[in-house]
A = this chain, B = another copy of it.
Amino acid sequence: MSAVVGRDYLHNAWYQAAWSDELTDSAPLARTVFETPLVLFRGSEGRAVAMLDRCPHRFAPLSRGTLAAGTLTCGYHGLSFNSLGQCVQNPHGPIPPRAQVQVFPTLERHEALWVWMGEPEQADSTTLPDFGFIDTTPASAKFRGLMTVQANYQLVADNVLDLSHVAYLHPTTFGDVLMHARMSIEGDDRTLRARWESKDVKPSPAYQGAVPEGNADIWAVVNWHAPALLVIDSGAVPTGSSRAPRDSILALHSLTPAGPSSTHYFYCITRGVRTEDAEFNAQLKSLAELAFNHEDKPMIEAQQARLAQVDLSLTPPLLLSVDGAAVRARRILGRLIAAEREIPPTRQVESVP
């Protein structure tokens, strides 16, 4: 919606390419990141591999090939490649020196495959934020998914960063409990934290699991990590009660640009209560997916379609106080992208996110 639009990606960062259980050692998976077709699979010793999904011979997608013993064989003419992208078999003659497929650095952590689309030598596993809450939550107390939204990843991030939309877009589930919340923002040069707190309000259906009767204190804290990894810590306790860590619902919202107006939206939602209740888990999953797929997705896609018709230099968006976090996130991201390009960031117009 300003400095960061379209193809302005931050390349030197980890992006989620898949959930770990999407990868197998028998069927390659095709997925597009930054407009680049990738083939994802388990190579030798089960290692997760992200490779350019294009045979160097005649450009057939390698994802249409076969995978066996960690080796991917092109389904068109039979060249085989190992986990390093090296050609290990040419059934028609000697292996040509140029027979190499580009491989991207990967990291498998927190039940997810992360890929590094920038300079390989800069790939640093310590720069991935810690989402250890996913690892420590039992399977019956979490659910995850992926939806691909036809909109720029920044619009999806805006949606998570500005929870003031919840009362309007999700009235029957999350409702208006945050409508009159106190909101505060803090952050540094790569992260932001936006905190909403409502005291002594009637809980909406999404919070009635935690507080079935009487009023509640409700909170939601959005932790944003550049470029587009967000964790929401939210929950409710009976009015005036103290909070325990187990009262928090922790939700990862992990956004990966597929292209300038297409985003892979990975999510994983964990809880600390009723952790053995698989039926409750299924109910929550169904509720969340209804909200994500039928409320967030169509609105963000409609917003993207309108945005495509607007000249932002003539018609900047009208910013409200609730846009504070989204605007700060875009500024931080704009600076990081500019730094990556070694171009000094241009002066930011204050009123434009």
A interface, CB within 8 angstroms of B? 1, 35, 37, 53-54, 56-61, 64, 73-79, 90-93, 96, 98-99, 158, 162, 164-165, 167-169, 179, 298-299, 302-303, 305-307, 309-310, 317-323
Contacts and interface: CB of A to CB of B under 8 A. Distances in A.
B169 A299 contact: no
Given A64-B302, A306-B37, A320 B57 contact: yes
Nearest to A303: B60
Contacts of A79: 320
27 contacts: A37-B306, A37-B309, A53-B306, A56-B317, A56-B318, A57-B320, A58-B323, A60-B299, A60-B303, A61-B302, A61-B303, A64-B298, A64-B299, A73-B168, A74-B168, A75-B168, A76-B165, A76-B168, A77-B162, A77-B320, A77-B322, A90-B320, A93-B321, A93-B322, A96-B318, A96-B320, A98-B318
A340 to B, nearest CB: 22
B99 A59 contact: no
Given A59-B303, A79-B320, 19 more contacts: A35-B309, A53-B306, A57-B318, A57-B319, A59-B307, A60-B299, A61-B303, A61-B305, A64-B302, A74-B168, A76-B303, A77-B165, A77-B168, A77-B320, A78-B168, A91-B167, A91-B179, A92-B322, A99-B318
A165 B76 CA distance: 5
B169 A306 contact: no
A317 B55 CA distance: 9
Nearest to A162: B77
A167 B99 CA distance: 20
A59 B64 CA distance: 40
A93 B59 contact: no
Provide the main secondary structure of the chain A interface: loop
Given A64-B299, A90-B320, A92-B164, A306 B77 contact: no
Looking at A58, A307, A321, which has the most chain B CB atoms within 10 Å of its CB? Answer: A58
Task: Count copies of this chain in the complex.
Answer: 3
Given A64-B299, A164-B92, A310-B54, A317 B59 contact: yes
Contact of A317 (B57, B90, B306): B57
Nearest to A100: B318
Contacts of A57: 317-320
Contacts of A318: 56-57, 96, 98-99
A78 to B, nearest CB: 5
A60 B317 CA distance: 11
A1 B59 CA distance: 10
A71 to B, nearest CB: 14
A54 to B, nearest CB: 5
Contacts of A76: 165, 168-169, 299, 303
Nearest to A296: B76
Nearest to A353: B58
A184 to B, nearest CB: 14
